[in-house]
Structure 1
């Protein structure tokens, strides 16, 4: 029963996170079809990220205080509707508003869902969280293929096809009375059995996640344009983005297994150390090897992903929803704030030049992670 429940949460997560990946996958389309500059196109990513970064911790605090099973299907529907409305092409402000609606849906989904996964899993939870995160990564990986396939259908029908995963996700995430009663019973348990709150370690972890977020979101936003700048076709750019997202899925699943052997903090440190040369290879090696380096870089950057969520929950055991909102939302979404700066530099120079500073960020994350303690799992 527990495994089926975790699998259901992972499948629902996939249906939501396809819309985070879709925002990055739409950037080349917006540049070529609507004549947006790199800075303007990256502003679309910022619109989704900025709103999510502000409100996601608030939804996490709400999940700490009460059971909100209705919020998960509602947020899934909002995520899909926002992306579908981008097709209306009612001008740049309307496009920003549509993407912001999708970002709001994504923001509302993650804290409540992550808290449910942790309480359903029991114990350390990093293996269950890695499966939950894997579902999101699969959604990310499928997003470029979904966007290319849907937009090959002319007219509004193609854009509404992008809303199909949201419809599936709403069905998967509909409240079930038996499951929700169990969830409400568990919701109070972590706070009642909470240990000490290590706020200093949590702040340090948040810095690590911010640095990682800037690196990954920068790559995911511009890798398709980078491949096209180096002579690849639009399909080649979509394949590079797919390789990036597919690598992230493998890294997420690997993270839970490595943590069982090395511990979470040691795994996080080693993953960031491995990510640095992979990012350098992506930017410096010949084009055919870009796909390999993209997958390796994403895998290394995503090995820590689910581990950082459970670390945050164990640093703040009485505020698991808030910790999930920060590690999954606020600090992750802050990476989108760097997008317009990268885009402006790309407009002034080249995409490759704009991405070169990202190679330093995994080393910075490694240095920050060296000071993290290994907490005891929350009750």
Structure 2
């Protein structure tokens, strides 16, 4: 039952995060079909990513105050509806608003779903990694879903993109009902434990540094390897490595502890990212896989660590670790592009190497927090301290 619950929540996570990947996949069709320029399409993408990132902590605060399991199916449907309407909107303003609506749905989904996933996983880092894996696979599968559909039917076919959201909402309803009872019962007693804001802030900075590297790689690595088929393979390796790293991180954390796993992952990410820049030919693909695995191994651990650093504000922690900190790092992407234009793409990617170093250094200042269970009691973490 525990496994089936987290598996269904992971599937629902995939059905939501497919809309985060769907917006960039829409860009070529908006350029070809409506003649939007680079600035215009950048504004559309920003409507989804930045708005979602900023609003997620707000929903986190709300879910800390009120239990809102109903928000999960509503937010999933909203995310799908926004993308579905974006292709048939009659003006740029309406397209922007439709994409912003999708971003709002994505933002509303993550804090509450992370809270329920925490209950369903019952402290298991492996099960929590499966929940995170769902989101990774959803994001990675978006181009596979969007591109063939719109290539065949044009932007007018975009309403069909609401189907994954509706299917995901219906799929997760049964799990939401089964978890809503324990969640509400746990609300009767105030959450125990002490919020450790200094550690949470340092963890958030670690996530920002990690995001700078991953967004930079996902934006430019295909171009770095020449675009076309070679670039497509590079992106596939990057996304596939993320799926492997997510599962691996949960298993390593169960054995070594979360903080130790995070430190080792970021230490290994330093030569992996450097290898992407320095390795010739086929070797670059090997290092792309290594970089993706090492950058994604701590991904699900960030969420549970944030929740344990802020046991009284689990929703806020989920909103920041899944939303704000992840996307704020992406704001550095234009700076990387500026270096690429001024110097070279290799120099731009080389600028990413210091960021896993910074993540590793900050991770060394963190210690394993007490692990609070969903009922409000606080237990020592299974992982070794430090």
> Same-fold call, TM > 0.5?
yes
Paired residues of 1:213 and 1:333 also in contact (CA < 8 A): yes
CA distance in 2, matches of 1:283, 1:97: 38
Match of 1:244 in 2: 238
Matched, 1:321 2:315: yes
Secondary structure of residue in 2 paired with 1:19? helix
CA distance in 2, matches of 1:355, 1:35: 28
Inter-CA distance 86–347: structure 2 relative to 1 (3 Å threshold): farther
CA distance in 2, matches of 1:196, 1:61: 17
**For structure 1, which runs of at least 5 residues remain unmatched after alignment?**
none
Match of 1:255 in 2: 249
Match of 1:294 in 2: 288
94-103 or 260-269, larger mean C-alpha shift: 94-103
Please state how far the C-alpha of 1:344 moved relative to its aligned partner.
Answer: 4.2
Inter-CA distance 50–9: structure 2 relative to 1 (3 Å threshold): same
Please state how far the C-alpha of 1:316 moved relative to its aligned partner.
Answer: 0.9
**For structure 2, which runs of at least 5 residues remain unmatched after alignment?**
378-386
Paired residues of 1:48 and 1:103 also in contact (CA < 8 A): yes
Alignment of 1:1-379 (within 5 A): 1-26=1-26, 34=35, 36-37=37-38, 41-88=41-88, 90=90, 93-122=93-122, 124-174=123-173, 177-188=177-188, 191-192=190-191, 194-227=192-225, 230=226, 232-233=227-228, 235-286=229-280, 288-348=282-342, 350-378=344-372, 379=377
Please state how far the C-alpha of 1:78 moved relative to its aligned partner.
Answer: 2.0
Inter-CA distance 275–288: structure 2 relative to 1 (3 Å threshold): same
Inter-CA distance 43–278: structure 2 relative to 1 (3 Å threshold): farther
Deviations 1:207-234, CA, capped at 9 Å, x for gaps: 111111122122223334444xx2x31x
Inter-CA distance 284–77: structure 2 relative to 1 (3 Å threshold): farther
CA distance in 2, matches of 1:374, 1:184: 28
279-288 or 131-140, larger mean C-alpha shift: 279-288
Paired residues of 2:340 and 2:346 also in contact (CA < 8 A): yes
Paired residues of 1:49 and 1:334 also in contact (CA < 8 A): no
Paired residues of 1:61 and 1:322 also in contact (CA < 8 A): yes
CA distance in 2, matches of 1:350, 1:308: 33
Inter-CA distance 52–375: structure 2 relative to 1 (3 Å threshold): same
Inter-CA distance 178–134: structure 2 relative to 1 (3 Å threshold): closer
Please state how far the C-alpha of 1:374 moved relative to its aligned partner.
Answer: 1.0
Inter-CA distance 23–76: structure 2 relative to 1 (3 Å threshold): same
Paired residues of 1:64 and 1:320 also in contact (CA < 8 A): yes
Paired residues of 2:13 and 2:135 also in contact (CA < 8 A): yes
Paired residues of 2:29 and 2:155 also in contact (CA < 8 A): no
Paired residues of 1:80 and 1:102 also in contact (CA < 8 A): yes
CA distance in 2, matches of 1:347, 1:90: 34
- Which structure is richer in relative contact order (CA contacts within 8 A, separation 6 or more)? 1
Q: CA RMSD of the aligned region, Å? A: 2.6
CA distance in 2, matches of 1:321, 1:355: 34
Paired residues of 1:59 and 1:107 also in contact (CA < 8 A): yes
CA distance in 2, matches of 1:321, 1:92: 34
Paired residues of 2:212 and 2:330 also in contact (CA < 8 A): yes
CA distance in 2, matches of 1:288, 1:371: 37
Inter-CA distance 42–300: structure 2 relative to 1 (3 Å threshold): farther
Please state how far the C-alpha of 1:131 moved relative to its aligned partner.
Answer: 1.0
Secondary structure of residue in 1 paired with 2:152? coil
Secondary structure of residue in 1 paired with 2:153? coil
Paired residues of 1:144 and 1:241 also in contact (CA < 8 A): no
